[in-house]
Each structure stands twice: as structure tokens, then as C-alpha cells.
């Protein structure tokens, strides 16, 4: 059941009966768990904060490549000039959107940042999303997938720029030049957590593919979580809400689209951020004590 609210006001949306949510079937995914470690060696441009961002980003890249390979082995991909590339990008984009990342352990010694993460991903869910795309070539679904692919491409470009700036910094001689390079470096690092290609509530409303919808929401939820944690100064440990436990991404999607998306143009992560920083939801204790 996909609730779609065009340009209604927030107050109008909130008047919609909460009873609708009781008829939503919450699916349970047969996700596989991947646990990996990564140690990032800090460069001259890095601080503890940027080293942590780089470490988390790099271990996610490794894991998503591994999961993507797993998915590729289970489907037939035509290795022609365009089809193979597109299929690979589709898999990568959907896998990134549907994966849940949790940091298990992290440690900074002043020179390197160690991180251990757990990623839950369901290859079958990715396959289902790809199948839906083949069978339901609606322009809304194609547009939603393109948003995810654009985000992944932007991340790749950002990573490449970060590596170029590291090399440039190592060759810099003057203090002013180094300062300017480090400033550019920090701007690029910020893009990893805050991609410029924003997913809107309307993007999530438009798709009739449940898996694509979840991928869009997952991307937005993670971005809002990072921003809310910086604002509150605490770790967000309970990111999901709902009416009936267990609370999941699926139940949270319905709450976000029903009560927190004020319009189709509203950035989806802003709806999550509004929820996480509202302070008066009474639904969950989001943050660690």
C-alpha cells in the first residue's frame, strides 16, 4: 500500500486517519549480515572527523562491491557495450540504497582510524527490484532509479577528487597553498555525508516499486541521521518509528510520508530530520543517554 499525497499542507496530511497504518503489512527481509574491518591511515589533510568519514566510506565501498558481485552471480547480464554497464550501475545503486550499516567498533590513535561495521543486505531484495524495473518500466520508477545512480556517481567523483587533493597537498610548498587545498578537501569530505542531488518526498511518492521506495528512503534516512546526530550531539540508536512493533524502515516510511512530508518538493531527508529533532513525538527515545 503506497500512500501518495500531492501538494497538501502538513496539517491536512496529519488529519488523515492513523487507522490506515494498521492495514499496512510490514514485510520481513531475509537479509544477510556482512562484518568487515578497515583501517584508514590519515593524510596531512585529515583530522579525526575526516578520517572517520573516510574509513566508514571506504569499508562501505568494499562491502557494497562484494554484495554487488554476489548479486551479479545470480543474474544474467548481457555483456554488450551499454547493457553490462547499466546493469552493473543498477545493481550498485539499489544495493547501496537497501543496505543497512551499523558501526560495531571504532578507534582513533592520532594517525589512523580503525572501524568495524556490520552491513545487512538482502541480495534477493535487489533482484526483486531489478525484476520490477524490467517488468514495470514506468517513467517514475526509472526516474527513482536514476536518482540513486546519480548519488552513486557523485560519490565516485567525490572520492576521485579527494585522492587528487591528497596528491596536490603533498606537492604543495607554501602555507597558504596548503591551507586552500585543505579547505577544498574538507568541502569534498562534506559531500560524502551530504550529496547535492537531493531526493524529494515526491520522488518517493512517485515510484510504485516498493524496493525502490525503500532504497530512496534509506538514503534520505541515513543523511538525516548523520545531520541530527551532529545537531543533538548524541548517537541516534532508534531510527525507526511506527504504530505496532517491531518498528522497521517500512513502518517508518509510512509515518514519514503520512505525517512529515509537507509537500512533494520537500527534500525527503528534511522530513526525517524534522522527525528526529522534533523533541515532542513521544514515539521513541531516539538517542543514547
When mean pLDDT is compared across 99-108, 127-136, 214-223, 257-266, the lowest value belongs to 127-136
Is it the case that residue 8 has pLDDT exceeding 70?
no
Q: Which contacts (CB < 8 Å, 24+ apart) does range 10-18 have?
A: 10/260, 10/262, 13/258, 13/259, 13/261, 13/262, 14/259, 16/258, 18/243, 18/258
User: Which distant-in-sequence residues (6+ apart) come within 8 Å of 143 by Cβ?
Assistant: 203, 206, 207
Is it the case that residue 20 has pLDDT exceeding 70?
no
Instruction: State the DSSP code for 75.
Output: S
Instruction: State the DSSP code for 260.
Output: I
188-240 pLDDT, tens digit each: 998 887 766 678 888 888 777 788 888 889 888 888 888 888 888 888 888 88
Is it the case that residue 25 has pLDDT exceeding 70?
no
The mean pLDDT of the chain is 78
Find the DSSP H helices in the chain: 10-14, 48-74, 83-98, 123-135, 139-171, 175-193, 201-206, 210-232, 249-255, 268-276
230-289 pLDDT, tens digit each: 888 888 888 888 878 888 888 999 889 988 998 888 889 999 999 998 865 444 566 765
Of 1-15, 78-92, 171-185, 199-213, highest mean pLDDT: 171-185
Q: Show the CA angle centred on residue 192, arms to residues 186 and 197, nearest 5°.
A: 115
CA separation for the pair 53, 45 (Å, rounded): 13
Amino acid at each position: 500500500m503506497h500512500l501518495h499525497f500531492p501538494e497538501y499542507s502538513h496539517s491536512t496530511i496529519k488529519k488523515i486517519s492513523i487507522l490506515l497504518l494498521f492495514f499496512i503489512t510490514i514485510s520481513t527481509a531475509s537479509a544477510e549480515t556482512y562484518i568487515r574491518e578497515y583501517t584508514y591511515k590519515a593524510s596531512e589533510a585529515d583530522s579525526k572527523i575526516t578520517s572517520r568519514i573516510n574509513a566508514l566510506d571506504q569499508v562501505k565501498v568494499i562491502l557494497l562491491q562484494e554484495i554487488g558481485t554476489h548479486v551479479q552471480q545470480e543474474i544474467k547480464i548481457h555483456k554488450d557495450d551499454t547493457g553490462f554497464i547499466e546493469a552493473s550501475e543498477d545493481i550498485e545503486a539499489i544495493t547501496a540504497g537497501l543496505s543497512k550499516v551499523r558501526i560495531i567498533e571504532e578507534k582513533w590513535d592520532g594517525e589512523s582510524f580503525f572501524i568495524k561495521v556490520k552491513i545487512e543486505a538482502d541480495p534477493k531484495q535487489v533482484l526483486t527490484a531489478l525484476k520490477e524495473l524490467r517488468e514495470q518500466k514506468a517513467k517514475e520508477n526509472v526516474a527513482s532509479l536514476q536518482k540513486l545512480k546519480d548519488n552513486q556517481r557523485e560519490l565516485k567523483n567525490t572520492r576521485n577528487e579527494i585522492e587528487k587533493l591528497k596528491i596536490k597537498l603533498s606537492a604543495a610548498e607554501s602555507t597558504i597553498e596548503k591551507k586552500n587545498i585543505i579547505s577544498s578537501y574538507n568541502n569534498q569530505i562534506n559531500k560524502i555525508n551530504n550529496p547535492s542531488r537531493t531526493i524529494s518526498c515526491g520522488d518517493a511518492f512517485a515510484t510504485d516499486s516498493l524496493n525502490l521506495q525503500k532504497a530512496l528512503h534509506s538514503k534520505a534516512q541515513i543523511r538525516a541521521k548523520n545531520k541530527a546526530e551532529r545537531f543533538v550531539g548524541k548517537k541516534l540508536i532508534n531510527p525507526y518509528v511506527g504504530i505496532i512493533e517491531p518498528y522497521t524502515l517500512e513502518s517508518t516510511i509510512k509515518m514519514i510520508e503520512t505525517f512529515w512530508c509537507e509537500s512533494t518538493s520537500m527534500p525527503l531527508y528534511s522530513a526525517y530530520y524534522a522527525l528526529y529533532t522534533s523533541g515532542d513525538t513521544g514515539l521513541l527515545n531516539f538517542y543514547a543517554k
